[in-house]
Structure 1
Amino acid sequence: MLWAPLFTILAIALCDPCAALDVPRNINSIQWVDCASSVPQPFQGIPLPGALPPTLHCGRLDVPMDYSQPFSTNNKITLGFAMYRPSNPKGLINFNPGGPGSEVASYAWAVALNLSVAAPVSGLGDFDFLAMDVRGTFSSNPLNCTLGDLAIPSSFPTNEAEFEAYQAPVRAYAQSCIDQSTPKGIVAHIGTAETVQDWDSLREALCYDKMHFLGISSGTTGGITYASKFPQNVGRFVLDAIIPPGISNLDLVTSQIKAANRLLLRADAYCIYDPTCPFHSIGKGSVVQAFSDVLQQALAGNSSGVTVDDVRAAANIGYLSGNPNFPAFNLALYGALNGNWSALSYATFAPSYLPAFASSLHILCLDQHIDDNTFSGFNAIRQSIAKVDTAQISYVQDLTIIGLCGGWPYHGNSQIPLPTDAPMLLVTADFDLNTPTEFSTFEWAQAPNGVLVVRHGDDHGTVTVSGPAQSAEIAFLATGNLPSGTDETLVTIYTSGMERGPIADPYTAPIGPPAGDITSAV
């Protein structure tokens, strides 16, 4: 009979790890579910092991839709998440890959299934690894929206009427989300401000005093916001490819247009490195000249119906952003100069780009403060960035976001910086178009106790690029030891109190696989 109370306690603890402890509870209990019935989207329709690994756990947690109001049946949403859970974990690591709004739960599945995609975090196998779909997406109360006439044009508005027409489909799309999504009012509460409260609710439900964090891209905005709101719960935070609050719309877009010009020089440097580049024999400057020639032909109408705006948008979205594909970009320029414009047609990329962009729009717009939501304000940004746009690239995604998000009904406070004393690891790459390296310099000023890791190379994000910068991320999460200052070929590390040096020369920085480069046009 003595075993019965013990079994009861163990059973309760397995369902709710806090229940067997004398811990004050301010949130609901986790509802653990069978992972076989909660397969995340990337794993649906593909063969899975007959028995899922015992380290894989899936759960649900009810939280307030609006944290400023009492939790109730009318003020409730359900978060979905997955976890890799080893025996005797050393702590909790919350992972967010950005997007914003990317599917997240599958990353815990990848870790538990020991898939190659999870290799970058293989050194963290002693930790609970949490992957929560952010609210309004996938398994966490997804919104119900209709694309309708929503479009992401390659050209920007040039007058008041065009500006209104530019934003009108966004207003209609937002209204469809408002009308069709449940619970009523959810669309006003799906930003990063709410997401970080969800993370803290999960931390508490899992009975952890501290939360470690690995965030990439827009996930870093959540990390910064969490550190500001819950400083007492901050563990080891790694912010990789940083998007910090506190940057004005003008500085945001100016940094990105400068980054785009650097990426064009990197494409030129890659051509020097790559003997298969069609401009290789010409030498330095050949790709820059080819891009200029392509723009001139498009302006003259000698481009098979592809406009100059199409070329600029396609170059940005299709080749230079994310993990840039320099071999394919250089071939696309060569093809256009020889009469084949298909690889620089915006129509090639728009069908896949629109759904991905739309799925992020509700978070992008709710987080983004619009400094001046008028055509004159928008046009002033365009005129200002033209002064630093050496190659006349003109198109950058942040300008698109600012223009389109003016049509969204809700906006955040992205113009307010969020200083923190936490000893974070801030990670950037010299040639990242999506999150220009200037952003990390700005955030380092807000987190003076942090260490800044500058990877000398390309790609959006560092945790997936093998090398010393990636190793520094994993080592800090695993041990809590911040790296020492160093200046090496692949990385420069600045510790607290140091001054960051200039951005690396695009032609002398590493090229090829060590720099995170794609080496094939396919």
Structure 2
Amino acid sequence: MAENGTLSACASGTTCNETLTVFDAQSTIAGLLAGQPDFPNLFARLEAALSGDGADFAASGPFTIDEVWALPLECADNRVYDSSYAGYQELIQAMEEVDTHHIHQSDWLAIFLSCAAWPYSTPPTQPLELTAPMLLVTADFDVSAATEKTTFAWSTQTPHSALVVRHGDDHVSFDLPRQASTNYTKQFLRSGVLPGAIDGTFVTMYEPGMQREAVPDPYCVPTGFVAGDVDSA
């Protein structure tokens, strides 16, 4: 703490909140739990805060509505059957067993950690079969939504739908105007007609009833801006 009673990090001119609130702590902890959580780092910060040095928690303001609206939707739909640390470790082990290319797609681990503290009852997960024709779009290595989940929904719950697989990485395909996957999506939205099967370099289209090929080796797929990785532009 600084002599004037504010946090030392704020006294040095750093942009932060002078008074540490519960919202500051929640915001910082949520960030530390994202991705592959570094628990020793988190525990060290908590210990420092309990000892009077809360500067690590002062750089973030309280959550705003645009940052939190998704969590209630996720936690109301995703029941956590075992919210213990042992349950979390079992989830990590189960993910590692199917992560043959060691991608470590971990957003669902963060959702688990957030929803483990959800204070309301959540109904058991039930499969939902949708009969309307839809177009599901995914990328081989989506950084935010595992492509396996999209494939599972397409093959088990949407029997009259088609699947578009963009060969590349990054999240969201619709805002990539040069991608074939975007063109097929727009055609479907305009006409309501599902596209036929296509096997291309940058996109593969599966008709209803087909079986998706295995996710390719990450070192053998198109990469960079031309493959939809907007972060490399």
In which range does the TM-score fall when normalised by the shorter chain? 0.5 to 0.7
Match of 1:431 in 2: 141
Match of 1:154 in 2: 32
Match of 1:380 in 2: 90
**CA contact 2:137–2:164 (8 Å) conserved in 1:** yes
Q: Say if 2:166 is the partner of 1:455.
A: yes
**CA contact 2:165–2:204 (8 Å) conserved in 1:** yes
CA separation in 1, counterparts of 2:99 and 2:110? 16
Shift of 1:480: 1.4
The 5-angstrom pairing of residues 144-183 of structure 1 reads 147=23, 149-150=25-26, 151-152=29-30, 154=32
CA deviation map 1:410-463 (0-9, x unaligned): 244472121111111111111102111111211112111101111111121110
CA separation in 2, counterparts of 1:429 and 1:394? 16
What secondary structure is seen at the aligned counterpart in 2 of 1:399?
helix
The 5-angstrom pairing of residues 27-426 of structure 1 reads 147=23, 149-150=25-26, 151-152=29-30, 154=32, 351=60, 357-387=67-97, 396-413=106-123, 415-426=125-136
**CA contact 1:451–1:482 (8 Å) conserved in 2:** yes
Match of 1:443 in 2: 153
Letter in 2 for 1:519: S
Shift of 1:387: 4.5
Consecutive unaligned residues of structure 2, counting only runs of 5 or more, are 1-21, 42-55
**CA contact 1:367–1:411 (8 Å) conserved in 2:** no
Letter in 2 for 1:371: Y
TM-score (ref. length: structure 2): 0.68
Distance 1:154 1:519, change over 3 A: same
Distance 1:153 1:379, change over 3 A: farther
**CA contact 2:107–2:145 (8 Å) conserved in 1:** no
Structure 1 runs of 4+ aligned residues shifted over 6 Å read 307-310, 390-395
**CA contact 2:139–2:170 (8 Å) conserved in 1:** yes
CA deviation map 1:462-496 (0-9, x unaligned): 10112211111111111111101010111100101
CA separation in 2, counterparts of 1:394 and 1:362? 25
CA separation in 2, counterparts of 1:481 and 1:395? 33
Shift of 1:519: 2.4
Shift of 1:516: 1.2
**CA contact 2:23–2:63 (8 Å) conserved in 1:** no
CA deviation map 1:386-420 (0-9, x unaligned): 44567888682321221231212124447212111
CA separation in 2, counterparts of 1:501 and 1:476? 23
What secondary structure is seen at the aligned counterpart in 2 of 1:452?
strand
CA deviation map 1:342-391 (0-9, x unaligned): xxxxx7xx848976654533332223211222333223223433445678
Distance 1:377 1:499, change over 3 A: same
Distance 1:411 1:395, change over 3 A: farther
TM-score (ref. length: structure 1): 0.32
RMSD of aligned Cα (Å): 3.3
Letter in 2 for 1:496: P
**CA contact 2:24–2:60 (8 Å) conserved in 1:** no
Distance 1:357 1:387, change over 3 A: farther
Match of 2:183 in 1: 471
What secondary structure is seen at the aligned counterpart in 1 of 2:23?
coil
What secondary structure is seen at the aligned counterpart in 2 of 1:408?
coil
Distance 1:458 1:353, change over 3 A: farther
CA separation in 2, counterparts of 1:361 and 1:516? 27
Distance 1:501 1:471, change over 3 A: same
The percentage of aligned residue pairs carrying the same residue is 35
Distance 1:147 1:395, change over 3 A: farther
CA separation in 2, counterparts of 1:470 and 1:491? 10
Distance 1:487 1:428, change over 3 A: same
